[in-house]
Amino acid sequence: MKTSSTTARADSRAETELGQDTPRFFVGEWTHPFGPGLKESRCRLVLDANAGRMLAAQIWTGLRFEGMNRLMHADLEETVVGANAADECPEEFGLVLCDTLPEWATAN
């Protein structure tokens, strides 16, 4: 029997599949420890709602958000998409659906 949570996820996926031509993104913040015994770091991220992968992420340094290296990006993506499947139930993780990339994700 499907629960309302399961149904909501299926509905969300169906909407995503129908809108393949429309870029859709999940945007939000996440806390993540980048190693054993390390304090959790505040991160902001963008997930591709169609492909189920993380497009952009930055880490809070205490003064501002800054880009992260490839290893940090891969580690965060494994947690967000791989372990937690946040791309399948973004609302459970406070991620918000957007039609455009945030400005910080497009800046060089």
pTM: 0.76
What would the 3-class secondary structure string for the chain be? CCCHHHHHHHHHHHHHHHCCCCCCEEEEEEEEECCCCCCEEEEEEEEECCCCEEEEEEEECCCCEEECCHHHHHHHHHHHHHHCCCCCCHHHHCCEEECCCCHHHHCC
pLDDT digits (tens, 9 = 90+) for 64-95: 999 999 999 999 999 999 999 999 999 999 99
* Confidence band, pLDDT 50/70/90 cuts, at residue 108: low
pLDDT digits (tens, 9 = 90+) for 7-25: 344 444 445 454 555 669 9
